[in-house]
Amino acid sequence: MDLVVARPEGLYCPPGDFYIDPWRPVERSIITHAHGDHARRGNGHYLAAAPGEGILRSRLGDDIRLQTLAYGERLEHHGVTLSFHPAGHVLGSAQVRLEYQGEVWVASGDYKVEPDGTCAPFEPVRCHTFISESTFGLPIYRWPSQAEIFAGIDAWWRANAAAGKASVLFAYAFGKAQRILHGIDASIGPILVHGAVEPLNEVYRAGGVHLPPTRYAGDIARNDPLLRQALILAPPSAGGSTWMRRFGDYSDAFASGWMLLRGTRRRRGVDRGFALSDHADWPGLLWAIEQTGAERVMVTHGQVNVLVRHLREQGLDARAFQTEYGDEDDVEPSP
Ligand SMILES: [Zn+2]
Ligand SMILES: [Zn+2]
């Protein structure tokens, strides 16, 4: 029996009568993490991992009917035993483990296998069937080490500050921005943030994640010399907006897994690209899938066909799941 099937509303568990990350409003939803394509408004009930509560409420509203479970804590619903396990993607992100009549399925949500210090590291969970994302499911996607990426960001910022230029770094406001704050050398200069970034910083700080002090970019006067030493973190949607004018002469950069491709860098029209992703790269996906011991793999998001074909060649029963998840690594969802 299939513990999860694809329905028009989202991924559905027939014996449990609930949905995982539904893209249309449903009565009972289980949410893997608070990115806009996985956590949507309008569901009757929400169930999520406890460390994600602050983010979910800040994005979906304080009035949602939300129940939370600690990682590893079990809940029984209609004979289905449910638990959340760290996915290493963003604060509060979880894989969902479902057990019913001896059959175990794990739905990964989005995941990253490298620990980054801003959320609980990915934990492989043994299962019969693994539902895996594949946002970067092509052999060309291999991330540089995090140390290398952060050294690159620091060097770019330092060189701009020495030249008296502001450094504007575009990054997704939830997850990526906090990872950058956590990983950079905050002694280089002041750090300013866009209004979309700071509320999420506050949730991370409240969750015990160390982030250096930040100030609202909007509070700094246009001609303040501080701007010329500053790193400014802004969501991609701020690019090309009038908000940017206050920075005068600046260098800009974009932090995203897609920056690995020269074509994407050119299309974005930024000075620099840093290939920092919150998703597993190709070796990471294959490692995670192997760790589950699953003989069946359902693939969602991204480069589904290439990964499915590769897994079949490895002797696994691999299939594609049609979903409406996007690549929030590159796209800013509407608030
Ligand atoms: Zn995500
Ligand atoms: Zn996703």
Compute, in angstroms, the gap from residue 109 CA to the centroid of ligand 2.
Answer: 7
Q: Are 211 and 204 in contact (CB under 8 A)?
A: yes
Residue 86 CA to ligand 2 centre (angstroms): 15
Q: Which pairing describes strands 10-13 and 18-20: parallel, antiparallel, or unpaired? A: antiparallel
Decide if 37 is inside a domain: yes
Identify whether 330 is part of a domain: no
User: What is the reported pLDDT for 268?
Assistant: 80
What is each CA distance from 295 to 96, 105, 301, 312, in whole angstroms? 18, 11, 20, 10
- Residues 108-123 have a mean pLDDT of 97
Query: 77 phi and psi, to 5 degrees?
Result: -140, 115
How would residue 325 be classed by pLDDT, with cut points 50, 70 and 90?
A: confident
Q: How far is the CA of 173 from the centre of ligand 2 (A)?
A: 15
Instruction: Tell me what percent of the residues of the chain surpass a pLDDT of 70.
Output: 97
Which ligand ends up closest to the CA of 302? 2
Same domain, 161 and 218: yes
Residue pLDDT, tens place only, 260-313: 987 877 778 899 999 999 999 999 999 999 999 999 999 997 778 999 999 999
At residue 170 the predicted structure's pLDDT band, cuts being 50, 70 and 90, is very high
CA of 323 to the centre of ligand 2 (A): 10
Mean pLDDT of the chain: 94
120 and 233: one domain? no
Q: What is the pLDDT, as a whole number, of residue 280? A: 97
Predicted TM-score (pTM) of this structure: 0.94
Same domain, 186 and 155: yes
CA distance 250 to 240: 13
Q: Look up tokens 């943030």; give the residue.
A: 193
DSSP for 250-316, written as a single string: EEEEEESGGGGSHHHHHHHT-SEEE---SS--HHHHHHHHHHHT-SEEEEESSSHHHHHHHHHHTT-
94, 137: one domain: yes
Query: Which CATH number goes with the domain that contains 166?
Result: 3.40.50.10710
Q: Which H or E element spans position 54?
A: helix 53-60
Ligand 1: centre distance to CA 190 (Å): 29
Residue 329 in any domain: the answer is no
The tens digit of pLDDT for each residue in 42-54 reads 999 999 999 999 9
β-bridge mates for residue 169, sequence order: 233, 253
Ligand nearest to the CA of 92: 1
Q: What residues make up the domain containing 263? A: 146-274
pLDDT reported for residue 335: 28
Checking if the pLDDT of 159 tops 90, the result is yes
Q: How many CB atoms lie within 10 A of CB 105?
A: 23
pLDDT at 330 over 60: no
Number of CB atoms found within 10 A of residue 120's CB:
17
Sheet holding 74-77, edge to edge: 74-77, 80-86, 94-100, 103-107, 129-133, 296-300, 317-320
223 in the same domain as 210: yes
- Contact of 233 with 175, CB cutoff 8 Å: no
d(C-alpha 214, C-alpha 231), whole Å: 10
pLDDT at 204: 97
pLDDT above 70: residue 72: yes
pLDDT band (50, 70, 90) for residue 314: very high
Give the full edge-to-edge strand order of the sheet including 215-216.
Answer: 215-216, 191-193, 231-234, 166-170, 250-255, 272-274
**Amino acid 331: pLDDT:** 46
What are the distances in angstroms from CA 250 to CA 8, 114, 228?
46, 32, 8
Res 333 pLDDT > 70:
no
Calculate mean pLDDT across residues 7-36: 96
pLDDT at 203: 97
- Burial pattern 52-65, b for ≥16 Cβ within 10 A else e, equals bbbbbbebbeeebe
C-alpha 278 – ligand 2 centre gap (Å): 10
Contact indicator for 42, 25 with CB cutoff of 8 Å: yes
In this prediction, residue 327 has a pLDDT band, given cuts at 50, 70 and 90, of low
Distance 3 CA to ligand 1 centre (A): 22
**What kind and span of H or E run contains 153?**
helix 146-162
* Distance between Cα 314 and ligand 1 center (Å): 27
- Residue 325 belongs to some domain of the structure: no
> Stretch 91-101: mean pLDDT, rounded?
98
Q: Give me the pLDDT at residue 263, please.
A: 81
Q: How far is the CA of 22 from the centre of ligand 1 (A)?
A: 14
Residue 137 lies in a domain: yes
- pLDDT tens-place string over residues 184-229: 999 999 999 999 999 999 999 999 999 999 999 999 998 899 999 9
Q: Are residues 133 and 67 part of one domain? A: yes
Q: Is residue 11 domain-shared with residue 129, that is, in the same domain?
A: yes
Tell me, in angstroms, the distance from the centre of ligand 2 to residue 102's CA: 28
**201 and 254: one domain?**
yes
Ligand 1 centre from 33 Cα, in Å? 7
Q: Is residue 129 part of a domain?
A: yes
In angstroms, rounded to a whole number, what is the distance separating the alpha carbons of residues 251 and 274?
A: 14
Tell me, yes or no, whether 160 and 266 share the same domain: yes
